[in-house]
Structure 1
Amino acid sequence: MKKLKVPAYDWRVVKELKRYALTTKAKDPWGHGKSSSKAFKREMTKLMLVEQSKRCGYCGCRLFEKRPHRDHIAPKEDYQQWMFWPENLVLSCFTCNTDLKKSFDPVVTMGSTYRLTEFSFVHPYIDTPTDHIDFTSGDLELIIQEKNGSLKGKKTIEIFDLASVERSKQRAKDIMHDDDVEHLQGDYRELLENAIEALQKKLVKVKARFPRPGD
């Protein structure tokens, strides 16, 4: 998990789509919108895939789906004004979006703007995960727990089942095939950096012993 940057998008289009979402008589403006809304969804998906390095915005695991889920952080059914708001959209894995979060409403207190709205779990764009969640090592495991009693951290771990054995196994598999360490936190990052450094030293020794012709 890492704090994400909101993908840059033409705010004139965003404001136009906001008006559309609030005034249209269409039953499903998100799923069956007009050409500009369909173009917005396609472009946002491309931008988010780059910003998120093809990782779930909630649990940090790899997105293997050909068409990753575009999740509305605040449900579009309840907050139509944010249906096409870039800051309210994130790509998520099937487990986080469909099995765990479902239609959960994380809005605790509505603010005068989206940024001033209070959310119950760690928001991918607004919050820094390490302010709320600790990744620490035990004797034989990496422990995930809320930091300094953070209610946001606790809710995030609970909603997305981050401390479960199966989800931990998935993160471990990702680490073994990963090189974008900025997505990793605490001991995960340190372990990977140490492993990469050790491997590089070993490769240097191997090359010294068995130089290729022309080296």
Structure 2
Amino acid sequence: MSFPFFEKIDFVEEYIPSHKILILTVSDKNSWSDKKFQYVKKKIRFHYSVVQDDKCAYCRRQLNFGGYSEPIEHIVPRADNYLWMFEQKNLVLSCNACNSCKSGKSTLKPAMLTSATYPANKTDYIIYHPHFDIYSNELEFEDNMFYKWKTNKGKKTIEVCGLNNMAHLFYNAAVNNMNNDYDSVLDKIMYPNKYGLEKKDVDEFRKALVRRVKHLKKLNKAK
């Protein structure tokens, strides 16, 4: 089953001239936090919220309308090349779960880390690149729960962004109302090899799901 959302980002809004000049003042990876860039980042956040239909670039979970308070994600981390921190094809919106898990992990092939210009070929990257790759060519979403890779790039994306970790599993279970289908959820996570899940993660998820369902039943009885 493929995601019914955007496959790749086809439109990038140009910075206005004054912003281009401002961006030239970047001095290191920590410049991203400078207050002088607040308005530029607001403009970036709103633009990508529109072209991404308010969906995370990696897991496709729903984001806040307009990208409000959501992380602006650097596909190539600032630590790898801070001069690309405002490169528009290096920017997307992501959810906090993907952003936290991906963090500063490298996404470029080693040979491209010293490139003088931003790598513009999808083969330069080891994970799905939202501006260059077609999502459904790399990944699938199965059983309304799990992410399944189609290519090595898709497999690496699942690993780097933690797409099958606890945070994403809980979100997918909740958003698809699986709390009311307890047996079905447990059946799906009984086969970790199908989705590349570690046994310890499956056991942890099962225990947490049991606690969650018991808590929800208590809340329903109290109503």
TM above 0.5: yes
| Separation of aligned partners in 2, 1:165 and 1:80 | 31
RMSD across aligned positions (CA): 2.9
Contact 2:102 2:162 (C-alpha < 8 Å) held by counterparts = no
Which residue identity does 2:104 align to in structure 1? S
Q: Bigger CA drift: 85-94 or 103-112? A: 103-112
SS at match of 1:145: strand
- For the pair shown, the structure with the greater C-alpha radius of gyration is 1
**Ranges in structure 1 where 5+ consecutive residues have no aligned partner:** 177-215
SS at match of 2:92: strand
SS at match of 1:41: helix
Aligned 1:1-215 pairs, distance under 5 A: 2-10=7-15, 12=17, 15-21=20-26, 24=27, 28-32=30-34, 34=36, 37-64=37-64, 66-98=68-100, 100-108=101-109, 109-110=111-112, 112-116=117-121, 118-136=124-142, 144-147=147-150, 150-164=151-165, 167-171=168-172, 173-174=174-175
Contact 1:17 1:84 (C-alpha < 8 Å) held by counterparts = no
**Ranges in structure 2 where 5+ consecutive residues have no aligned partner:** 178-223
- Structure number with the higher helix fraction is 2
Which residue identity does 2:121 align to in structure 1? L
| Separation of aligned partners in 2, 1:40 and 1:59 | 25
SS at match of 1:134: strand
SS at match of 2:97: helix
Contact 1:61 1:174 (C-alpha < 8 Å) held by counterparts = no
SS at match of 2:30: coil
- Determine which structure has greater relative contact order: mean sequence separation of CA pairs < 8 Å that are 6+ residues apart, divided by chain length: 1
TM-score (norm 2): 0.62
- Structure number with the higher strand fraction is 1
Which residue identity does 2:127 align to in structure 1? F
SS at match of 1:10: coil
Which residue identity does 1:39 align to in structure 2? Y
| Separation of aligned partners in 2, 1:86 and 1:27 | 16
SS at match of 1:71: strand
1:107-157 per-position Cα deviation (integer Å, ceiling 9, x unaligned) = 1142554313711110111111111123456xxx7653221xx21011011
